[in-house]
């Protein structure tokens, strides 16, 4: 494929094209549908089989956990919460970028979202699945995992409604449900396209069932658009609320390092940060593998890099303010918790976190680095390492030295801790590989709306400006058709 047109330079008037490569409605459908329809490319197996192996490791580690109990993990007395909660928070966070892209960027009319929202939403659902495994398995007595839910039972036992842990159950399950609906509603028109193009009976029936009888009629679209707007409105508060509730798992406690009021927005910013890094990693691979460099263009990558810079700075702001207030509070326990974080036994983790999360994105101030595919890939991985460490630092460095020095201990992860972490990546990537193989990776119908020919006012002059001192002679100055949104 020829070198793509550079659409990262936004003209001062008008907008740079979002999609390059001269696509029209028909060729766009082709480009998205063909990867679903053709024979499985050999490259796909290179990603799928290792993912499946990692998923197998997940199964083994969970099986061993159920057999042997949580003793196989590195938990000890002050650090009762180890990798399980770290992984849970990490995965819930990953999901947030999908919801931000599909809901908040939709409300902000950021039309570049259309090329990446489908994959990002799919990522959200898989991330939530990974997240939900950990509360389920971490309790040791997994056969009573249903106690997490407020189910009526013969013992009149209810979960403590004042505990943030049950708010988590509500928050994350609502989040998962709404994300799934949002994703699925968006998929319907594209599923119908695949159904209509399908050559075999099995495919026609399989895609046909999930296309819910979509006919692409005016009424279909009217209802679709309305449902989409409503789901976007509902999902927007969820972007903020879910990770706020997760942050309250820590912040409602009295433990220094956990109890601080900035936690809710700080967690949300971090979640979006890591989520965008994950979308970046996935998109960089997918756009090459499925030959979509002209649909998921450099401009999309650059915009994601800008959001990573913004959220990375927000996270850095929160680290700084936490440190400052810990000192300013004059509270010796607060001061100790933060000094211990930066200089104590977990200093190595703290500085990994700071360098990955705060320093790495700073290079995105430069356009050259935002357009550097190699750096985008490396930084997206580094950021996710950093964001995993952020949760690790919060959990372990606060717990391992609490108020009583007699209780101090050092948390050391075991093989099985790492196995469940790596295994959860296996679940995530397996699901994503299946998605990329069998479902359209890009929301075709939505991308078509950002093509120039979709604009009803294309080339039409809507407003004419008469410059000062020009008398009655109107200067022809055409209104730019549509608008890309940066």
Partner 1 sequence: MAHGPRIVHLDQLVIRPGSGWARLPLIAGAVGFVFTIVSIVLARSSPESTKQFFHSWLVAVVFFLCIGLGCLFFVLIHHATKAGWGVVVRRLAENLACTVPVLAVLFIPVVALGMYDLFHWTHADAVAHDRLLQVKEPWLNETGFWIRTVIYFVVWSGLALYFRNASRRQDDSGDEALSRRMARFSPVAVAVFAVTLTFAGFDWLMSLEPHWYSTMFGVYFFAGTVVSAFAALTVLTLAFERSGHFRGVVTGEHFHDLGKLLFAFTVFWAYIAFSQFFLIWYANIPEETNWFLSRLHGTDHNPANWRAATMLLAIGHFAVPFFFLMPRTIKRNRTLLLIGALWMLAMHLWDVFWLVMPNLHREMTFSLLDLTSLLGVGGVFLATAGWLLSRGSLVPSRDPRLVESLAFENI
Q: Whose Cβ is closer to partner 1: residue 1's or residue 462's?
A: 462
Q: How far is the CB of 320 from partner 1 (least distance, A)?
A: 8
Residue number, 11 or 374, with CB nearest to partner 1: 11
Determine the angle formed by the axes of helices 42-68 and 263-289, rounding to 10 degrees.
Answer: 140
Buried-exposed string 193-214: b where 16+ CB fall within 10 A, e elsewhere:
bbbebbeeeebbebbbeebeeb
- Residue among 245, 239, 257, 265 at smallest CA distance from 392: 257
CA distances from 309 to 97, 104, 252, 306 (A): 14, 18, 29, 5
Shortest separation between residue 68's beta carbon and partner 1, angstroms? 36
Sequence length of the chain is 486
CB of 278 to partner 1, least distance (A): 23
The CA dihedral of 134, 138, 144, 145, to the nearest 10 degrees, is -20
Q: How far is the CB of 195 from partner 1 (least distance, A)?
A: 29
Closest approach of partner 1 to the CB of residue 460, in Å:
8
Q: Could you tell me the smallest distance in angstroms from the CB atom of residue 264 to partner 1? A: 4
Distant-in-sequence, close-in-space partners of 76: CB < 8 Å, separation ≥ 6? 409, 411
CB-based contact 258:398 (threshold 8 Å): yes
Closer by beta carbon to partner 1, 118 or else 370: 370
Instruction: Work out how close the CB of 66 gets to partner 1 at its nearest, in angstroms, rounded to a whole number.
Output: 34
Smallest gap from Cβ 368 to partner 1, in A, equals: 14
Tokens of 233: 């409105």
Give whichever of 15 and 203 is closer to partner 1, judged by the CB atom: 15
Residue closest to 115 by CA, chosen among 269, 304, 281: 304
CB nearer to partner 1: pick between 26 and 162:
162
Query: Is 65 or 100 the residue whose CB approaches partner 1 more closely?
Result: 100
| DSSP-assigned states of every residue in 102-154 | IIIHHHTT-GGGGGTHHHHHHHHHHHHHHHHHHHHHTTS-GGGGGGGS----T
Q: Write the DSSP symbol of residue 453.
A: G
**Spatial separation of the C-alpha atoms in residues 373 and 3, rounded to whole Å:** 14
Interaction site with partner 1 (CB under 8 A): 10, 12-14, 107, 237, 240, 244, 248, 251-254, 259-265, 309, 313, 317-318, 321-322, 325, 328-331, 365, 457, 461-470, 474, 477-480, 483, 486
Read off φ and ψ for residue 480, nearest 5 degrees: -65, 135
Question: How near is the Cβ of 385 to partner 1 at its closest, in Å?
Answer: 24
Alpha-carbon distance 439 to 33, whole Å?
A: 9
108 or 158, CB closer to partner 1?
108
Our CB check for partner 1 shows the closer of 378 and 466 to be 466
224 vs 215: CA distance, rounded Å: 12
Q: Is 14 or 56 the residue whose CB approaches partner 1 more closely?
A: 14
What SS3 class is residue 74? coil
């Amino acid at each position: 494929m020829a070198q793509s047109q550079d659409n990262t330079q936004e003209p001062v008037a008008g907008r740079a094209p979002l999609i390059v490569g001269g696509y029209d409605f028909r060729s766009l459908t082709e480009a998205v549908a063909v990867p679903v329809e053709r024979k499985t490319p050999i490259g796909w197996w290179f990603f799928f089989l290792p993912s499946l192996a990692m998923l197998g490791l997940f199964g083994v580690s969970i099986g061993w956990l159920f057999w042997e109990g949580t003793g196989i993990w590195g938990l000890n007395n002050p650090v009762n919460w180890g990798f399980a909660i770290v992984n849970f928070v990490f995965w819930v966070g990953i999901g947030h970028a999908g919801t931000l892209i599909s809901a908040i960027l939709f409300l902000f009319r950021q039309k570049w979202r259309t090329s990446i929202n489908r994959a990002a939403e799919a990522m959200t659902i898989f991330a939530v699945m990974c997240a939900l495994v950990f509360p389920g398995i971490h309790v040791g007595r997994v056969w009573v995992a249903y106690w997490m839910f407020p189910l009526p039972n013969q013992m009149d036992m209810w979960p403590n409604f004042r505990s943030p842990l049950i708010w988590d159950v509500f928050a994350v399950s609502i989040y998962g449900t709404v994300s799934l609906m949002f994703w699925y509603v968006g998929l319907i028109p594209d599923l119908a396209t695949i159904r209509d193009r399908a050559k075999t009976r099995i495919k026609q029936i399989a895609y046909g069932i999930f296309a819910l009888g979509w006919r692409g009629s005016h009424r279909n679209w009217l209802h679709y658009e309305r449902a989409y707007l409503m789901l976007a409105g509902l999902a927007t508060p969820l972007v903020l609320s879910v990770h706020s509730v997760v942050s309250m798992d820590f912040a409602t406690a009295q433990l220094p390092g956990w109890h601080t009021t900035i936690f809710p927005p700080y967690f949300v910013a971090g979640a979006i940060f890591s989520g965008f890094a994950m979308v970046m990693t996935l998109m960089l691979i997918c756009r090459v593998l499925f030959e979509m460099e002209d649909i998921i263009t450099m401009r999309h990558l650059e915009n994601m890099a800008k959001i990573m810079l913004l959220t990375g700075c927000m996270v850095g702001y929160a680290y700084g303010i936490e440190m400052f207030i810990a000192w300013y509070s004059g509270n010796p326990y607060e001061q100790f918790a933060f000094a211990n974080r930066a200089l104590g036994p977990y200093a190595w983790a703290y500085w990994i976190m700071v360098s990955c999360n705060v320093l790495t994105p700073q290079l995105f101030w430069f356009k050259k680095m935002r357009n550097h595919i190699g750096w985008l890939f490396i930084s997206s991985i580094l950021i996710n390492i950093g964001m995993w460490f952020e949760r690790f630092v919060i959990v372990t460095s606060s717990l391992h030295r609490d108020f009583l020095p007699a209780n101090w201990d050092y948390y050391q992860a075991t093989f099985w801790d790492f196995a469940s972490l790596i295994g959860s990546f296996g679940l995530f990537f397996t699901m994503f590989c299946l998605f990329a193989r069998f479902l359209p990776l890009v929301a075709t119908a939505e991308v078509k709306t950002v093509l120039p020919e979709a604009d009803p006012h294309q080339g039409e002059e809507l407003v004419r400006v008469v410059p000062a001192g020009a008398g009655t002679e109107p200067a022809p100055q055409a209104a730019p058709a549509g608008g890309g949104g940066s």
